[in-house]
Amino acid sequence: MTSRFTRMFPHAVTAAAAAVVVLILLVPGAIADGTSVPAPPAQPTSADQIQNIDQVKTAIKAYYGDTVTQTPDPVNGTALLHTYSPSGAYANEMAGIEADAAKDLDKEAKHDQKFSGTPAVLFDIDDTTLNTYSYEIYSNFVFNPTTNAAFVNAAVFPPTPGMPGLVSHLRDDGYTVFFLTGRPEAQRAGTVTNLANAGYGTIDNSHLYLKDLTAPWLASCAPACTTTQYKSLTRQHIESLGFDIAANFGDQFSDLNGGFADQTFKIPNPMYFLP
């Protein structure tokens, strides 16, 4: 496809090669055939079975193209936030994924009779539509709910590279856009502000789902829903309202598992894992 969307990403073809080079140079055990680096065993019997954590952090920074901004952290203002490089391996890999998604969904939009309801697309938020690399560097890759909430409520996260363009493109194609996140309802205001500031426009509250375990469609798993249960049951609920989720975008496999989407797009995130 040659389209206005594809032309936004002239370096997409270099994505896989750039990512593989970073992994080969800096991460022990990296595989050069495009497959994932294997996770260490749950019960390792030798240190050689575990990737060195400092080397992994160095590789992550290289992959994102670590760049220091002039924006102070929202917790106490003593550290400058880091961000990704717009020309790094991460941004290039994102460009390739987004171009593929646009091509597939453009095709489907032209044959809307195949949809079982109003065509829709669904996006996770953290590290799918908003990039949290700044928080991972600030926290040294250790999640703390208090400091993380400060980042969320201050609406400081930049967009995932290229994603506002894809969302706008799919809206123009006629898709209804939904956002589904594991963030709690208490963080709705910061989330809405951050999405708007990042270029996603004003989001209708009915198209933005935050985690509320009192929702009736979660009764089968509440109060201890797994990520897969929470997200798949919410997708089922959205489809019960008359929508057909043509594509589901997420950075965790738990965002994508469980059905209720015609296809899925995995967004790269080597920083953390949510089962």
Burial class (CB in 10 A: 0-12, 13-18, 19+), 267: buried
Q: What is the dihedral of CA 29, 35, 37, 42, to 10 degrees?
A: -120
Integer Cα distance of 80 and 102 in angstroms: 35
Provide the pLDDT for residue 155: 98
What superfamily in CATH does domain 6-36+51-266 come from?
HAD superfamily/HAD-like (3.40.50.1000)
Domain boundaries, the chain: 6-36+51-266
pLDDT at position 111 is 79
- According to the model, what pLDDT value does residue 7 have? 37
- pLDDT, residue 14, reads 40
Neighbouring residues of 81: CB distance < 8 A, sequence distance ≥ 6? 68, 69, 71, 72, 73, 134, 137, 138, 156
Instruction: Point out which residues pair with 180 in neighbouring strands.
Output: 209
Tell me the pLDDT of the chain (275 aa) as tens digits.
Answer: 444 444 344 444 343 334 433 333 333 333 334 467 888 999 999 999 999 999 999 999 999 999 999 999 999 999 999 999 999 999 999 999 999 999 999 999 987 668 999 999 999 999 999 999 999 999 999 999 999 999 999 999 999 999 999 999 999 999 999 999 999 999 999 999 999 999 999 999 999 999 999 999 999 999 999 999 999 999 999 999 999 999 999 999 999 999 999 999 999 999 999 99
Residues 6+ apart with CB under 8 A from 208: 178, 179, 181, 188, 191, 192, 195
Which residues pair with residue 250 across a beta bridge? 266
Q: Which pLDDT value is given to residue 35?
A: 61
Give the span between the Cα atoms of 229 and 207, in whole angstroms: 19
Supply the DSSP symbol for 197.
I
Q: Is the pTM of this model over 0.85?
A: yes
Per-residue pLDDT, 12: 42
Q: Which amino acid is at 189?
A: A
* Residue 60 Cα to chain centre, angstroms: 16
Q: Cα separation of 169 and 41, whole Å?
A: 42
